Amino acid sequence: MRINRREFIQISGAAAAGLALSSCAGKGGMFSPARDQAKMLQIQDAKETTTICPYCAVGCGAIVHTAKTGDKRAINIEGDPGHVINRGTLCSKGAALRQLSENSERITQPLYRAPYAKEWKKVSWDWALTEIAKRVKTTRDATFEARNAKGQVVNRTMGIASVGSAALDNEECWTYQALMRAIGVVYIEHQARI
Amino acid sequence: MSKSFFVDTTLCTACRGCQVACKQWHDLPAEKTENRGTYQNPADLSFDTYKLVRMREEVIGGQLRWLFFPDQCRHCLEAPCLETAGDPAAIYYDEPSGAVIYTAATKNLDAAEIIESCPYNIPRKAADGTLAKCDMCYDRVAAGMQPACVKTCPTGAMNFGERAEMLDLAQKRLAVIKRTHREAMLLDPDDIRVVFMVAYKPGLYHDHAVASNTGSGISRQVALRRMLRPLKNLVSQLA
């Protein structure tokens, strides 16, 4: 006769004890998992923001959970079940979206390598943005064409091209291209793949 | 009501969404990988990788087939690891879902013994001896959500729900696939909560696709432990 463990517990009257144990097996209880998972509690109290995955032209919807308190950073990103394209699903790239912002490998300060310099050096955001604006303005003004060879109004610059990032979402792409068009850039590219 | 998975490998495209969603939800670190001539990465499950899409290239009937197997803990109805441990503080059933849960107290178990007891070769240990594996996202399930791997699956290969519904779905899909793939089968559907359907011989997908000790029953070691446990418990109560 084979008596399994469950039957044995019943026989030995330990069932009540087992029940008592399982009721305190939740988070923070004495039987917390090997890695404590307070995540569910975190996202239940998080702010939800919808976004579009930047990685390819399918355009899947995702929900970003950000902490309402503390550093207010993203704590979870998963597919948006209400989104018509993906109905909550995400591929491996989409499932890794959170690493766009939450990643210790990220470079968080602008780096500058001067012409002919071998090394990158850290610069301030203020310096970097001012310098970029200055150089864009100079190049744009020097290469601006109000009319083409046929005399048609074009208001463009052929001296600047833009290669957008593969990590920009829908809204960021819109803002970016609006800025580029405003200054007359016509070579506007985005790195979305697939 | 207990839960189960139905994994339809005929729909899997090996996008690895499940693998990444699992890491994302559990905040598990990345692994250093290398090009081993296969897209399967990392090479195996680990303390930091609970879900792994295994990939094999096999010639079947004169044609090359790329076989995908999104491997994970099967959450056995009667889990040998749990039986072997005999310590509910280390390994226990999460009653509402049926998930087999490993706690930090697995550190005190004989890791090699637990790993060997698993018919599917799933648990993995950390440097300090703590064991880890898929936890069925039982925190999500308790909140009425699907496990991260199931929710993210874009093809419908990963399914999750009430056990009866999943077994029903499995039978329906099997009937469809059987028409074109005579060898198609469900893997150990009566014993586990993660029921895979394969279109070809399971051994082609993964060495541990089906229980390695089917038919042989529990090991002598486990049997001995079971016999001695009442005595051990009695002694510890008296102490």
- Taking only the tens place, the pLDDT of each residue in B34-87 is 999 999 999 999 999 999 999 999 999 999 999 999 999 999 999 999 999 999
The SS3 call for residue B148 is helix
CATH value of A47-101 in 3.40.50.720, 3.40.50.2300, 2.40.50.100, 2.20.25.90: 2.20.25.90
pLDDT band at A25 (very low <50, low <70, confident <90, very high): very low
What integer is the mean pLDDT of B104-125?
Answer: 95
- pTM, rounded to two decimals: 0.79
Mean pLDDT of chain A: 82
What integer is the mean pLDDT of B170-193?
Answer: 97
One-letter-per-residue 3-state SS of chain B: CCEEEEEECCCCCCCCHHHHHHHHHHCCCCCCCCCCCCCCCCCCCECCECCEEEEEEEEECCEEEEEEEEECCCCECCCHHHHHHCCCCCEEEECCCCEEEEEHHHHHCCHHHHHHHCCCCCCEECCCCCEECCCCCHHHHHCCCCCHHHHHCCCCCEEEEEHHHHHHHHHHHHHHHHCCCCCCEECCCCCECEEEEECCCHHHHCCCCCCCCCCCCCCHHHHHHHHHHHHHHHHHHHC
d(CA B218, CA B226): 10
DSSP state of A85: T
pLDDT of residue A168: 78
pLDDT per residue as tens digits for the range A38-94: 567 678 889 999 998 988 888 899 999 999 988 999 999 999 999 999 999 999 999
Lowest pLDDT segment from A167-176, B28-37, B165-174: A167-176
pLDDT per residue as tens digits for the range A141-161: 999 999 999 999 999 999 999
pLDDT band at B212 (very low <50, low <70, confident <90, very high): confident
d(CA B113, CA B170): 33
Q: Shortest Cα distance from B137 to chain A (angstroms)? A: 9
For chain B, helix (H) and strand (E) counts, in that order, are 8, 10
In this complex, how many residue pairs, one in chain A and one in chain B, have their CB atoms less than 8 Å apart?
109
Higher pLDDT, B234 or B86: B86
pLDDT band at B88 (very low <50, low <70, confident <90, very high): very high
Residue B161, strand partner residues = B4
pLDDT of residue A93: 94
Q: So where are chain A's domains?
A: 5-39, 47-101, 111-193
pLDDT of residue B199: 98
Asked if A31 lies within 8 A of B143 by C-beta distance, the reply is no
Spell out which residues of chain A touch residue B237, defining contact as CB-CB under 8 Å: none
On the question of pLDDT at A117 being above 90, the answer is: yes
pLDDT of residue A170: 74
Higher pLDDT, A169 or A137: A137
DSSP string, B177-223: HHTT-TT-EESSTTTBSEEEEESS-HHHH-TTSS-TTTTT-S-HHHH
Residue corresponding to tokens 């189960």: B4
Residue corresponding to tokens 């990939």: B55
On the question of pLDDT at A8 being above 50, the answer is: no
Nearest residue in A to B135, CA atom? A33
Asked if B230 lies within 8 A of A12 by C-beta distance, the reply is yes
pLDDT of residue B232: 63
A165 touches B: beta carbon within 8 Å: no
